[in-house]
A and B are shown apart, each in its own frame.
Chain A
Amino acid sequence: NAGVTQTPKFRILKIGQSMTLQCAQDMNHNYMYWYRQDPGMGLKLIYYSVGAGITDKGEVPNGYNVSRSTTEDFPLRLELAAPSQTSVYFCASTPSDSNQPQHFGDGTRLSIL
């Protein structure tokens, strides 16, 4: 049982480039989340989804986009990478609502230079 799988683990981008961070879960969870973690700032919610075809903004959505075409996958898209988006990105999932304990992936460390 893999749980939540994130790829890639590391990536360096140039300013203005685009990329997609992949997240997949095999637990049949309905809810999925994207967070960014910056030193001393904790985890900030970027986007979340309560089921396939449904997404909504979190606390810090600017500069990001998401889609949820299947229950398993929840990719995060950066269209025009900026240095402020240098961070560690975590994907998480819960069975049915955000009150439940979250299952996290191991993160993607992204540097924008």
Chain B
Amino acid sequence: TQLLEQSPQFLSIQEGENLTVYCNSSSVFSSLQWYRQEPGEGPVLLVTVVTGGEVKKLKRLTFQFGDARKDSSLHITAAQPGDTGLYLCAGVRNKLVFGAGTILRVKS
């Protein structure tokens, strides 16, 4: 059983569509990190959210931390093929706990 559940596991969309990836838990985290991983490479940090209810924007990516600090979401507007990759959320509780990831494929 994963402490952090990510959904969906796999998403295939057309260029220009919007999408949301969810990261849910029954546990509270002091902060939550989102990473993006491309094939053959290690994960790279996108953002860290710390405060309950916090919203952070990174160009077309919007990250939200739930009020209770148990869940988070990543919304991508007008997805592009370059957004293709594995998106991982990771919650901080003494050590970092990773979700299983969402594989995103954006077709042109």
Contact = CB atoms under 8 A, between A and B. Distances in A.
Contact of B2 (A42, A98, A99, A105): A42
A106 B37 CA distance: 10
Interface of A: 4, 35, 40-45, 48, 58, 90, 92, 98-99, 101-102, 104-107
Given A42-B100, A43-B88, 17 more contacts: A4-B42, A42-B4, A42-B98, A44-B98, A45-B95, A45-B96, A92-B42, A98-B95, A99-B30, A99-B31, A101-B33, A101-B45, A102-B45, A104-B44, A105-B42, A107-B40, A107-B41
Interface string B32-73: 010000001111110010000000000000000000000000
A98 B92 contact: yes
Given A98-B92, A99-B30, A99-B92, A43 B98 contact: yes
B36 to A, nearest CB: 11
B106 to A, nearest CB: 21
Nearest to B40: A106
